[in-house]
Each structure stands twice: as structure tokens, then as C-alpha cells.
């Protein structure tokens, strides 16, 4: 047996240490390989995930660019609304007696009297007329000149024909007293989608309706109405809300502040502001100094369209600065004489039915309003033996049956329309087959 500490023992110890080192190296190498493999898998996973995300993001961005418009690119938006107008619904007793006949003496039917007008007006967004005589209803007793009262069925026929803007402030508003005005207001308040202004049942109602903003086809508008007077009749119980006035008296100038206040309540809230004026002098084709001054004042306040009534005959159409003024539309329907001293040459039987287009263009930094496509159509009220009333446009082929010399009459009143602006278009009369 070798002795302790001999060379043989040392050799065995050396070999044992050598094996341990080799094993350790192999173990470290194995761990290193495993770690490297793990790291490689991690790196590969990260790279793959990032690549997929990049591809998705890049693809999505490309798709977004192709499908979605550039947010910085502005496209103008355009809206339009059409407006048509007629003048005074002056309901004499012969007119409502004829309507009673048409209803087989059971109520009143005015619809056949205006059927030719409905063919045109029913297709307009906005249609205006002036209710000259108060709709106090049959229960109060109907009345004729000089103290009128008319049946509700007048309004029914007009609404049926598409009319939805109505002015109520006229020189005949208080003809039948306060109750007739209250009845009229109750009637109009019961109708949906109809704006009737100028006469009210209370101060609160007046303030509410005159400050209201209306809208059609994304175009907002306001509507106001004034009369020069009441034929000398006092306002019942001093209730000024019963009728809007701008009197031709020594108070004329002071009333301008009232008008200004009314306009300013609406002007900045609406795209278009319309004012209906019951003004001027009856049976004259020339605007008075009052009309001209009122038109200029309303224009200075920013009113867009002025619609004039009361003279019962046509007056010119003209621009006053940027305001379009229809000085008088004349009668729509009435029984005024065809050839008496005041109404010679059918002038009280020929009215005006203008139409126009309101265009609103919304730009990136502004909104523009344009009033164009202005056309003026002449209309004629026919009757025979105080019956068979019929309102007919001059362009309708049936005009030849109702007015034998219609072409000469057309030329006469075309000249009136164009007296202040000869560029105003007047729709041609029927030319025959």
C-alpha cells in the first residue's frame, strides 16, 4: 500500500480536480447555451411582435389616408329655401257668399276660388299672404266694408294652398272689436307650421312670437309686421298688443326706436329677416314718401326683405341697398270694382305674386346669404255678377277665358313692376298655342 502523501495519491487528487473542472465547464457551457437560446427566442419574439405591430399600423394609416378625408380640408355647405308671396285677402260679402254657395250653403269653401294659385304655391317652402280682414269667425256675425269680419274658412283655404306666413296687422284689424282679434289669434295659434304675426292676445304672446327664430332647410329667419293705422278706430281698452303700429302721425319718428328695438332682437339671431309693412296710400302705383323713408330705415337696420301691402294695387319692386322691397303686392282676392273711379283698368283686380330663392352658403370662416332667382307673376281675380270668384295667374292658359284683353293688361302692369328697376323679371303671360 503506498504511503500517505505519496505520488500516486497526489496523482489521483490531481485527476479528480481535473474532472471537476471539466464538468463545471460543461455545466457552464450548457447553461450558456440554454441562456443564449432563451435570449434568442425573446429577441425573435420581440422582433416578430414589433414587426406585426408596424405592419398593422402602417397598413391602418394607409387605409385611413385613403378612406378618410383630410380633416384640414373644408368643404362649403349650401342650403336653399323658396319663398312666394301674394297680397291682400280682402273678403267682401260677395266673396264669402260665393264661398257659402260652393259649400252647398253649409259653411264656407274658399278653396275652389284659389285652386289655380294652389297649383303653384303648394310646392314652395315658404308662402306669404296678408290677411286684410280679421278672421273673427262666423259666431260674431260676418261683416263687409267698412267694418269687416271674416270666417275662419278663409284661413283654412290659404293653409291648404301652402301659405304658412301671414301678416295680421292691417287697417282693418280692429274693425270688429277686441273679441274678433282674440278669436283670430286663437284660430292661428291652433294651426301647426304657420307663422302669423302682427296681432296678439297679450303682451307676453307678442314678445314670444316676435322674438322667435324659425327655421326652414337649415336657414333661420325672423318675421315682423306693422300697420300705419286702424282707420281711426281706437285700440280697445288701450291694449296695444292687439296690433303692431307704425303710425303716420307726429309719433312717426319716435316709433322708429320701437321698430329698431324689435329688429335688433332678431337681427343677429337669424340668417334672413322679413318685415311685412301695411303702408302707403290706396289706389296709387307710386310709393309715398313714408314708404320710401320706412324702406330706407328698415334697410339701414339690416332687414333683408320688405313685403308691402294696403294700396290694393301693384307698386314697383326694387332694391334699397341690400334690401329687396316689394312696395305693394296689390289685392290677392277681393270684390273691388273692375272699372270704377278708383279701380279703373282692372288695377284693383290685378295683383302680384313674386317668388325668390334664399341661398345660404356656410364657409370655413363665414356664412353668406343671397337672395336671387326673383320672378314676379301677375295674377287676376275674376268674378261675374258678384259670384264665381277665381284667382288665376297670367301665365295659366285659362287666363284667356277670364280676361279677354289679358296681354294688354299684362303689359300695363309689367311696366309698373319695373318702374324703379327695369331688370326685375316679370313672368310672361300665356302666349297661346
Q: Note the pLDDT tens digit of each residue in 346-397.
A: 999 999 999 999 999 999 899 999 999 999 999 999 999 999 999 999 999 9
Say what the alpha-carbon torsion angle 25, 28, 30, 33 is, to the nearest 10 degrees: -120
Give the residue carrying C-alpha cell 290685378.
Answer: 350
Return the domain boundaries, the chain: 78-426
Q: Note the pLDDT tens digit of each residue in 302-335.
A: 999 999 999 999 999 999 999 999 999 999 999 9
Q: 135-139 long-range CB contacts below 8 Å, 24 or more apart?
A: 135/183, 135/184, 135/187, 135/188, 136/176, 136/179, 136/180, 136/181, 136/183, 136/184, 137/180, 137/183, 137/187, 138/108, 139/183
pLDDT computed for residue 68 by the predictor: 57
Closest alpha carbon to 275 in 289, 286, 262: 262
More confident residue, 2 or 317: 317
Question: Average of pLDDT values for 33-42?
Answer: 69
Q: Note the pLDDT tens digit of each residue in 233-251.
A: 999 888 999 999 999 999 9
Q: Note the pLDDT tens digit of each residue in 378-389.
A: 999 999 999 999
- Integer Cα distance of 117 and 119 in angstroms: 5
Q: Note the pLDDT tens digit of each residue in 191-218.
A: 999 999 999 999 999 999 999 999 999 9
Give the residue carrying C-alpha cell 293688361.
Answer: 409
pLDDT computed for residue 411 by the predictor: 98
* CA-based torsion, 205, 208, 211, 214: positive or negative: negative
CATH class of 78-426: alpha beta
pLDDT band (50, 70, 90) for residue 56: very low
More confident residue, 24 or 403: 403
pLDDT computed for residue 298 by the predictor: 98
Burial 290-323 (b: 16+ CB within 10 A, else e): bbbebbebbbebebbbbbbbbbbbbbbbbebeeb
What pTM was estimated for this model as a whole?
A: 0.84
pLDDT computed for residue 67 by the predictor: 52
- Integer Cα distance of 360 and 365 in angstroms: 14
- Integer Cα distance of 429 and 433 in angstroms: 12
Amino acid at each position: 500500500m503506498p504511503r500517505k502523501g505519496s505520488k500516486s495519491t497526489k496523482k489521483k487528487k490531481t485527476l479528480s480536480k481535473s474532472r471537476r473542472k471539466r464538468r463545471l465547464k460543461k455545466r457552464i457551457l450548457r447553461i450558456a447555451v440554454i441562456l443564449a437560446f432563451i435570449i434568442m427566442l425573446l429577441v425573435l419574439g420581440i422582433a416578430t411582435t414589433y414587426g406585426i405591430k408596424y405592419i398593422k399600423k402602417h397598413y391602418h394609416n394607409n387605409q385611413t389616408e385613403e378612406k378618410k378625408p383630410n380633416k384640414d380640408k373644408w368643404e362649403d355647405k349650401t342650403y336653399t329655401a323658396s319663398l312666394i308671396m301674394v297680397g291682400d285677402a280682402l273678403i267682401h260679402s260677395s266673396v264669402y257668399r260665393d264661398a257659402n254657395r260652393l259649400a252647398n250653403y253649409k259653411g264656407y269653401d274658399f278653396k275652389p276660388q284659389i285652386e289655380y294659385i294652389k297649383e303653384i304655391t303648394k310646392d314652395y317652402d315658404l308662402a306669404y299672404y296678408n290677411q286684410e280682414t280679421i278672421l273673427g269667425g262666423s259666431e260674431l256675425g260676418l261683416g263687409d266694408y267698412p267694418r269687416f269680419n271674416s270666417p275662419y274658412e278663409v284661413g283654412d283655404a290659404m293653409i291648404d294652398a301652402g301659405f304658412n306666413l301671414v301678416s295680421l296687422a292691417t287697417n282693418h284689424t280692429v274693425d270688429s272689436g277686441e273679441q274678433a282679434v282674440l278669436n283670430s289669434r286663437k284660430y292661428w295659434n291652433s294651426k301647426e307650421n304657420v307663422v302669423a304675426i302682427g296681432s296678439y292676445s297679450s303682451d307676453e304672446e307678442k314678445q314670444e312670437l316676435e322674438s322667435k327664430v324659425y327655421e326652414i332647410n337649415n336657414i333661420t329667419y325672423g318675421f315682423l309686421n306693422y300697420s300705419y293705422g286702424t282707420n281711426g278706430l281706437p285700440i280697445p281698452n288701450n291694449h296695444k298688443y292687439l296690433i303692431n303700429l307704425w303710425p303716420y302721425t307726429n309719433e312717426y319718428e319716435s316709433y322708429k326706436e320701437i321698430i329698431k328695438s324689435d329688429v335688433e332682437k332678431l337681427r343677429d339671431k337669424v340668417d334672413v329677416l322679413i318685415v311685412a309693412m301695411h303702408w302707403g296710400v290706396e289706389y296709387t302705383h307710386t310709393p309715398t314718401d313714408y314708404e320710401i323713408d320706412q324702406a330706407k330705415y328698415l334697410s339701414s337696420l339690416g332687414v333683408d326683405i320688405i313685403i308691402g301691402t294696403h294700396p290694393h294695387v301693384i307698386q314697383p319692386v326694387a332694391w334699397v341697398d341690400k334690401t329687396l322691397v316689394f312696395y305693394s303686392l296689390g289685392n290677392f282676392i277681393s270684390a273691388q270694382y273692375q272699372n270704377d273711379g278708383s279701380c279703373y283698368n282692372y288695377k284693383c283686380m290685378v295683383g302680384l305674386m313674386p317668388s325668390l330663392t334664399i341661398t345660404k352658403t356656410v364657409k370655413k370662416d363665414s356664412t353668406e346669404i343671397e337672395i336671387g332667382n326673383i320672378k314676379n307673376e301677375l295674377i287676376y281675380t275674376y268674378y261675374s255678377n258678384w259670384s264665381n270668384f277665381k284667382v288665376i295667374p297670367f301665365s295659366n292658359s285659362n287666363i284667356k277665358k277670364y280676361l279677354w284683353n289679358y296681354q294688354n293688361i299684362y303689359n300695363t302692369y309689367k311696366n309698373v313692376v319695373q318702374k324703379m328697376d327695369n331688370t326685375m323679371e316679370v313672368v310672361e303671360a300665356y302666349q297661346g298655342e
